[in-house]
Amino acid sequence: MSNIKMYASSIIAGEEIKNRQTLSVKFPYTGEEIGVIYCATNDDVEKAINNAHEVFESTMKSMPAYERSNILRKAADILEDRSEDFVKVLAWEAGKPLRDGRGELKRAVQVLRFASEGAKQIYGEQIPLDSAIGGEKQLGFSKRVPLGVVAAITPFNFPVNLALHKIAPAIAAGNTIVLKPAEKTPFTIGLLYKVFEEAGLPSGALNIVMGLGSEIGERLVTHPKVKKVTFTGSGPVGWHINQLAAKKKVTLELGSNAPNIIFADANLDAAAAAIVRGGFTFAGQACVSVQRVYVERSAYESLIERLVPSVDKLVVGNPLDEETMIGPMITEEAAIRIENWIQEAVEQGATVLTGGKRRGAVVEPTILVNVKPVMKVVCSEVFAPIITVIPFDDEGEVIKQANDSELGLQAGVFTNNINTALRVADALETGGVWINDVSTLRYDNIPYGGVKMSGIGKEGIKYAIEDMTELKFYGINLL
């Protein structure tokens, strides 16, 4: 790794901005520096927003839908051709195993293609004004119009795909974007900018500001020319942003401690395989990662017998190795945090069935049992390769336990009884429920977003486009 040195800089009006202040970017698996970020200043943020506003007024808001669609389609084609370049950089900067990186890039290409289609399907409607007294000989209709400048803040765990969930619908709707990516994963964003540049996106329609959110985030989300803020990340930061941007449109995609419920009549082989896949992919660093597994008591031992051997077979190691299935967490500090949570749970009576050890930034895939609702590994978001398995005796009990949380993003329910499945799905306080699959599953065209402290608003291309437009009414008096 010592010969790999990359850099990332802010890009404003098509120009790279290299300031004196830098941040080191490290390979999570070894902690070795692989490059630096040139940090933006608040003056740079001001320039980026002003430039984005100018380009919106001069170009983007009047660009025909077919042109926006063509740009997005070309970007998808370019990204698909260069996917392996992105996959390697994801492994270096995020510690993402190659197989997981390839999965992210496939989704990212699909996001662009959904947005390309969505750009040509932004509809209003005719409104029957003669339904109202006095509305005779009048015509009314609505249309969706772009907002202007969208500020986007994205996390480290899916740096390409989650950035595109904000960039692509913004472009589809005719907006411009100022993006602040995670400082731990900046290099894929630089590659992504080049993709849009080559696809023909006008200079300044996408501006990027690099650096720490604590230093430049407030200016980004409070600027009067920013009309919408869209954020994916931690709950405390997200709700603080919501306060700062109180008079703007805001979308928050925040955390979860996803419940997955398995009834005794479920296909336990399929459920166990899905739990392992959904709980440990990318070391559990996904907001919808399986965390709390509730299993009907009569099936508890049978499920455990399936889970433990499957978890023990997971290949843990260097994300640059093709065979690796579980790589490091994003930093050693993150791994130490979760190691402490495991130790605290054990001290409070929990049992580690497998895993539980840390080596540097790598935490072994871990299954905990005999847990209590008050333990952090149950009630808080672990964001790590840990699942807790909890027996239950009846439907009402498990619904109460699953809902006993401030969080509510997605859930999973496994049963062969459709009545049970739909009844439980209706009762769960989450933004989405999968039946006979895990909470971790997400397609890029579904409405995706949480309730309670897991966020506000919806992503998914169609739904993001709608929220990145205003519905404007036009009335005509037919003289």
Segment 23-35, tens digit of pLDDT? 999 999 999 999 9
Active site residues: 253, 287
C-alpha to C-alpha distance for 458 and 76, rounded to whole angstroms = 23
**Least confident range of 3-7, 47-51, 312-316, 351-355:** 3-7
Pick the CATH number of 6-254+455-475 from 1.10.3720.10, 3.40.605.10, 3.30.56.10, 3.40.50.620: 3.40.605.10
Residues 183-203, mean pLDDT to the nearest whole number: 98
102 secondary structure, DSSP code:
H
Q: Which residue has the tokens 């049978």?
A: 302
Instruction: Name the pairing type of β-strands 33-38 and 6-12.
Output: parallel
Q: Where in the chain is the domain with CATH 3.40.309.10?
A: 259-443
Asked whether 138 and 130 are in contact (CB, 8 A), the reply is: yes
Count the neighbouring beta carbons within 10 Å of the beta carbon of residue 304: 18
State how far the alpha carbon of 100 is from the alpha carbons of 158, 232, 283, in Å: 10, 20, 10
Instruction: Name the pairing type of β-strands 455-456 and 249-253.
Output: antiparallel
**Is the pLDDT score of 297 beyond 90?**
yes
**Is the pLDDT score of 2 beyond 70?**
no
Residues 444-452, mean pLDDT to the nearest whole number: 97
Instruction: Name the pairing type of β-strands 15-17 and 455-456.
Output: unpaired
State how far the alpha carbon of 397 is from the alpha carbons of 313, 403, 423, 430, in Å: 33, 10, 14, 17
Q: Of all residues in the chain, what percent carry a pLDDT higher than 90?
A: 98
Tokens of 104: 């992210």
**Could you report the per-residue pLDDT of 372-412, keeping only the tens digit for each?**
999 999 999 999 999 999 999 999 999 999 999 999 999 99
Q: Of all residues in the chain, what percent carry a pLDDT higher than 70?
A: 99
Count the neighbouring beta carbons within 10 Å of the beta carbon of residue 456: 18
Residues 407-423, mean pLDDT to the nearest whole number: 98
Residues 95-124, mean pLDDT to the nearest whole number: 98
Q: How distant is the alpha carbon of residue 173 from its chain centre?
A: 20
**Is the pLDDT score of 151 beyond 70?**
yes
Q: Which residue has the tokens 């486009």?
A: 465
Specify the pLDDT at position 3. 61
pLDDT category at 20 given cuts 50, 70, 90 is confident
3-state secondary structure of 4: coil
End-to-end CA separation in angstroms for the chain: 75
Specify the pLDDT at position 246. 87
**Is the pLDDT score of 53 beyond 60?**
yes
C-alpha to C-alpha distance for 190 and 333, rounded to whole angstroms = 26
3-state secondary structure of 59: coil
Residues 136-165, mean pLDDT to the nearest whole number: 97
Backbone phi, psi, residue 225, to 5°: -85, -10
Q: At what angle do helices 159-173 and 98-118 cross, to 10 degrees?
A: 10
Q: Where in the chain is the domain with CATH 3.40.605.10?
A: 6-254+455-475
Specify the pLDDT at position 225. 98
Residues 229-254, mean pLDDT to the nearest whole number: 96
Tokens of 316: 């843990």
Residues 338-367, mean pLDDT to the nearest whole number: 98
pLDDT category at 130 given cuts 50, 70, 90 is very high
C-alpha to C-alpha distance for 325 and 316, rounded to whole angstroms = 6
Asked whether 65 and 120 are in contact (CB, 8 A), the reply is: yes
Q: What is the largest CA-CA distance in the chain?
A: 80
Q: CATH classification of 259-443 is 3.90.25.10, yes or no?
A: no
**Is the pLDDT score of 5 beyond 90?**
no
Cβ-based neighbours of 269, under 8 Å, separated by 6 or more: 306
Specify the pLDDT at position 202. 98
**Could you report the per-residue pLDDT of 257-276, keeping only the tens digit for each?**
999 999 999 999 999 999 99
Specify the pLDDT at position 4. 62
C-alpha to C-alpha distance for 45 and 225, rounded to whole angstroms = 12
Report DSSP letters for 372-391, one per residue.
-TTSHHHHS---SSEEEEEE
Specify the pLDDT at position 19. 84
C-alpha to C-alpha distance for 194 and 175, rounded to whole angstroms = 19
C-alpha to C-alpha distance for 128 and 148, rounded to whole angstroms = 29
Nearest to 107, CA basis, from 456, 463, 469, 446:
446
3-state secondary structure of 181: coil
